[in-house]
A and B are shown apart, each in its own frame.
Chain A
Amino acid sequence: MAFPMQHLSFWIVVLGVPLLVVVGNAVARWLFGMPHSAASDVILAFVVFDAAVAVNAPEFQPFVKYPALRGHLVAIYFSLAILNLILWSVAVFKVEHDLLLMHNKRLMRYTSSPAKLLFAASMMSIFVFASNTIIFAYGG
């Protein structure tokens, strides 16, 4: 298992793009004085993606890079859908709720640093991005 330049596309798909999206979202929200989000919508989008992959597994199987996993696509994406729904509930009812409570609507900014919540929200988003795309990005 090596991670030099030949795996650059893997790292871009699994880590680079999600990082750019997450950081870009946070900066844009700060610029417009909006509270940060916990990426609950992104997680829901991946739940739909999981359902699509599970239902149309035969069509997706050729794109799975690790041959041993091709026959288990339904089970994997069914499990991922459940996991994503759990993460969604944490994102909405805990992280996003706390982020909203910390945001001062009148001043259009946070009065105390939401770094921990931002870290938790970003890690959740990147986990969802990575876990749902890794099967198509790594292996072979």
Chain B
Amino acid sequence: MQQFWLVLAIVMAAAAAILAPISTFLGRLSMREPPDLRRFFQFRHSRGPSRLANAQTSAMTANTIVQKQVTGTQSILVRNAYAGVAMIVQAERRMTA
């Protein structure tokens, strides 16, 4: 039982030794302005559309037009689900080609 308290004390001592510098760093970090994540991700996405993205967009548009002609106008949910499935099928075909 005594050994258990000793182990817990060692764990807490190790935690304190590791956490002291980490807390200091996190404290300093917390005073800095956080990066604008939305802008960061938009920047990453707007680096110029890749050829693959262009192909996917045109495929999605084409499929939506075909779907409209076949099934008529449907709800956004159904249309998006269809576009999603079409994208997956296209990607799979591209991988197997």
Task: Give the B-binding residues of A (Cβ under 8 A).
Answer: 1, 3, 14-15, 18-19, 22-23, 26-27, 30-33, 36, 66, 68-69, 107-116, 118-119, 122-123, 126-127, 130-131, 134-135, 138-139
Contact = CB atoms under 8 A, between A and B. Distances in A.
A27 B26 CA distance: 7
Interface string B1-34: 1011011101110111011101110111111111
A124 to B, nearest CB: 11
B35 A109 contact: no
A126 B20 contact: no
B19 A123 contact: yes
Interface size class of B (residues with CB under 8 A): 20 to 34
Given A113-B28, A130-B8, A134-B4, A107 B33 contact: yes
A95 B23 CA distance: 14
Contact of A26 (B14, B24, B26): B26
B37 interface: yes
A84 B8 CA distance: 16
25 contacts: A15-B11, A15-B14, A18-B15, A31-B37, A32-B34, A66-B4, A68-B1, A109-B31, A110-B30, A111-B31, A113-B27, A113-B30, A114-B30, A115-B24, A116-B23, A118-B23, A118-B30, A122-B19, A123-B15, A123-B16, A126-B15, A127-B15, A134-B4, A138-B7, A139-B4
Q: Which 9 pairs across A and B sit closest by C-beta, in order of nearness?
A: A115-B27, A113-B27, A119-B23, A110-B30, A118-B23, A126-B15, A115-B23, A26-B26, A130-B11
B50 to A, nearest CB: 27
B7 A123 contact: no
B27 A118 contact: yes
Nearest to B20: A119
B22 A23 contact: yes
Contacts of A118: 23, 26-27, 30
Given A109-B31, A113-B30, A134-B4, A14 B37 contact: no
B27 A114 contact: yes
